[in-house]
Amino acid sequence: MNHVRETEVVVIGAGQAGLSAAYHLRRTGYQPGRDFVVLDHSPGPGGAWQFRWPSLTYGKVHGMHSLPGMELTGADPQRPSSEVVAGYFTAYEQRFELRVRRPVDVRAVREGGDGRLLVETSEGDWSTRALINATGTWDRPFWPRYPGQET
């Protein structure tokens, strides 16, 4: 049987929403790696931005990438947004020591007993009191089938 690690909060996803959540958890006193963990399935930083087409340059994104606590300044507006924002997210993770674990696929979230959740992943399981689903819109989520869901 796998060893189940315990934490207070699991954040699933390290795009804009996940990094923002991690920033605010840290700001309120939670420590990354001890009190919360950020899991991301992508191979590197950048959220969905890393998959944008090259013709979408940084100058055309109009601040849609901004994260709390650290502005992105001085970027070349002609560079692809995928490159600029991925670099920004990398610097953000490092500055706030967010320790994102990747690539990690979350396979299931189940009731774990004692009011906790069990998060089953490709890198082992986590027991947590709270979960932040920051998976974004890039992937197609798995929606389980249950009787009566149409009504």
What is the DSSP annotation of 94-148?
Answer: HHTT---B-S--EEEEEEEETTEEEEEETTEEEEEEEEEE---SSSPPP----TT
Candidates 3.20.20.10, 3.50.50.60, 3.40.50.720, 3.30.499.10; correct CATH number of 4-133?
3.50.50.60
Rounded to an integer, the average pLDDT of 72-101 is 90
What's residue 142's pLDDT? 63
Confidence band for 5, pLDDT divided at 50, 70 and 90: very high
What's residue 113's pLDDT? 85
Q: Give pairs for 120-124: CB < 8 Å, separation 24+.
A: 121/39, 123/39, 124/2, 124/3, 124/4, 124/5
pLDDT more than 70, % of the chain: 91
Radius of gyration of the chain from its Cα atoms, rounded to whole angstroms: 17
Taking every pair of Cα atoms in the chain, the longest distance, rounded to a whole number of angstroms, is 53
Q: Which residues contact 115 (CB under 8 A, 6 or more apart)?
A: 129
pTM equals 0.85
Listed by start position, the domains of the chain span 4-133
Rounded to an integer, the average pLDDT of 96-120 is 94
**Whole-number Å distance between alpha carbons of 124 and 41:** 14
Rounded to an integer, the average pLDDT of 131-145 is 75
What's residue 63's pLDDT? 65
